[in-house]
Chains A and B, each alone.
Chain A
Amino acid sequence: MKLSRRKFVLGLSTLSIALISGVGLNRKKNKKKKKILIFLSNYENIIPLKLRYNQNWSKETDLFENKIKLMLSSTGIEKTIISIDQDIKHDYQSGNLKLFDGWIISNTEASILELKRKYV
């Protein structure tokens, strides 16, 4: 089958666009992941013994992940951390606690630990 010159050029252009946008998407994803990793690195000390957390992924964590992604892209890392720190404090103030392998931690910290398991 002969490919007409016109069809060949059109095909090549489509492929190039697809490739370029794919790379862009990946870059965007990597950038988001990097931001989340920077965010998570701020919470190294929730439980000092790193290997000890092992909890099932919950719907709450899904929601938390979306919230963090949204905040990181809209307000930036610094403001996200300030806001999440306030959430943690509020959890402790109101008694929103979870037992995590014996550790008494806030619900927000528990979600951060679950995120860590996914990303780190």
Chain B
Amino acid sequence: MAIELGGKTYETDEEGYLVNLADWNDELANEMAKADGATLDENHWEVITFLRDYYEEYQIAPAVRVLTKAIGKKLGKDKGTSKYLYELFPYGPAKQACKYAGLPKPTGCV
């Protein structure tokens, strides 16, 4: 599979995850969201940016339980809940947010 954007082609796997991490940019994230019928606002971006930073530091996409806890610590307790994250990313916070962040599917993702 692939995403066409601005005259360029970006390769994705069969589930729509970006093959090459370095290809990622903001517009591509918006395009992926649009394909799912979603629009990214600042709350989505907060999580996406967090995930990219986490990957940069640890070389993995965190499992949802780890993500929820870490978000609570970084962005405030009211945001570190499954409810908040599922409202932002109804297809599963780790799975869907990682996709838009250009990361591989999280390890241990269920």
A and B together in one complex: no
